[in-house]
């Protein structure tokens, strides 16, 4: 057995230096709910494990006011669920993060890990795409910010450069009449992987959709931002025709696989069904603000 090094730096600079110095032989440890399973299966054999949970920025929840939040990438779902302000501003993002695994997994699993594991079926990702969350990334060449949808590159692959670490997610200011929702379709009611996952973020004014974003998961190699669906919703009063047009845009965006959880035809149909259901939930929440 080869020796593995474990580092738990207190600062981001130390973590980035160690990660870059290991030149690909290191793995970042947040909740470990993917990493430890992959290590056990022999899929990942890191020479160094860099635990980022002692870095304050990675585990902080900052209320920036007006519904805006900055969430450390390693914040666990269980910790985030206890933040009442975040739940009120971003219920869809929270329900998506809280769908990842059991209570035990919630104690560890983080949105940053969910994004970096880059499963097309990661539950938090479509909701964060819909939310318009911005990812702060720190690497050997400094800091950069990108939208969530720019990070996944394919199953298990990201656009992160060597040595780069996802630090936090910034959620924008919430206008009046804005809310979000997330649903996933699974064959059972708990503890399963999405056949389709869909997040919608709406801003309503006098019954009219002023802004919309739709994130769609598990139907393509990466989570998708479905701009066609948003266009169909914006300016509408969520009349049947507008919602059906948005559903059609979601179906058209699908490039799914056939697997044991669902066929191509089923996943494509369900994408449209979920769009309608999630729009209804998000609109009801937005109206209630």
The residues of the shown chain that bind another protein, judged by CB under 8 A, are 1, 3-6, 8, 29, 31-33, 36-37, 39-41, 49, 51, 53, 76, 78, 101-105, 107-108, 190-191
Closest Cα partner for 31 from 166, 218, 159?
A: 166
Distance of closest approach, residue 191 Cβ to another protein, in angstroms: 5
| Smaller CB separation from another protein, 105 or 150 | 105
| Smaller CB separation from another protein, 41 or 84 | 41
Tokens at residue 56, please? 């304050």
| Smaller CB separation from another protein, 36 or 264 | 36
Q: What span, in angstroms and rounded, lies between the C-alpha atoms of 277 and 213?
A: 15
- DSSP letters spanning 46-106: -SEEEE-TTSHHHH-EEEEETTEEEEETT--HHHHHT-HHHHHH-HHHHHHHTTSS-HHHH
Cβ atoms within 10 Å, residue 45: 11
Provide the CA 75 distance to its chain's centre, in angstroms. 13
| Smaller CB separation from another protein, 40 or 239 | 40
| Smaller CB separation from another protein, 27 or 201 | 27
Distance of closest approach, residue 113 Cβ to another protein, in angstroms: 11
Distance of closest approach, residue 287 Cβ to another protein, in angstroms: 27
Distance of closest approach, residue 141 Cβ to another protein, in angstroms: 29
Distance of closest approach, residue 101 Cβ to another protein, in angstroms: 7
| Smaller CB separation from another protein, 100 or 125 | 100
Phi, psi of 214, rounded to the nearest 5 degrees? -130, 125
- DSSP letters spanning 228-247: HHHHHHTTS---HHHHHHHH
Distance of closest approach, residue 102 Cβ to another protein, in angstroms: 2
Cβ 209 vs Cβ 246: under 8 Å: no
């Amino acid at each position: 057995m080869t020796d593995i090094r474990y580092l738990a730096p207190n600062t981001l600079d130390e973590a980035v230096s160690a990660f870059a110095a290991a030149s690909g032989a290191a793995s970042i440890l947040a909740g470990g709910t993917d990493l430890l399973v992959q290590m056990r299966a022999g899929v990942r054999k890191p020479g160094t494990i860099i635990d980022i949970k002692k870095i304050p920025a990675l585990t902080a929840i900052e209320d920036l006011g007006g519904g805006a939040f900055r969430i450390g990438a390693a914040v666990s779902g269980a910790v985030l669920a206890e933040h009442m302000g975040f739940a009120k501003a971003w219920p869809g993002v929270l329900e998506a993060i809280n769908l990842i695994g059991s209570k035990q997994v919630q104690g560890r699993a983080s949105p940053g890990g969910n994004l970096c594991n880059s499963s097309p079926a990661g539950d938090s990702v479509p909701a964060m795409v819909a939310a318009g969350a911005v990812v702060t990334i720190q690497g050997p060449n400094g800091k950069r910010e990108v939208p969530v949808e720019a990070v996944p590159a394919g199953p298990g692959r990201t656009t992160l450069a060597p040595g780069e670490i996802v630090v936090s997610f910034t959620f924008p200011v919430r206008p009046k009449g804005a809310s979000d929702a997330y649903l996933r379709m699974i064959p059972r009611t708990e503890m399963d992987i999405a056949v389709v996952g869909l997040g919608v973020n709406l801003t309503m004014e006098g019954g009219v959709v002023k802004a919309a974003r739709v994130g769609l998961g598990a139907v393509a190699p990466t989570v998708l931002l479905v701009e066609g669906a948003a266009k169909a919703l914006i300016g509408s009063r969520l009349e049947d025709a507008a919602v059906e047009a948005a559903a059609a845009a979601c179906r058209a965006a699908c490039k799914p696989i056939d697997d044991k959880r669902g066929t191509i035809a089923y996943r494509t149909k369900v994408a449209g069904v979920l769009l309608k259901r999630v729009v209804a939930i998000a609109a009801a929440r937005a109206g209630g603000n």
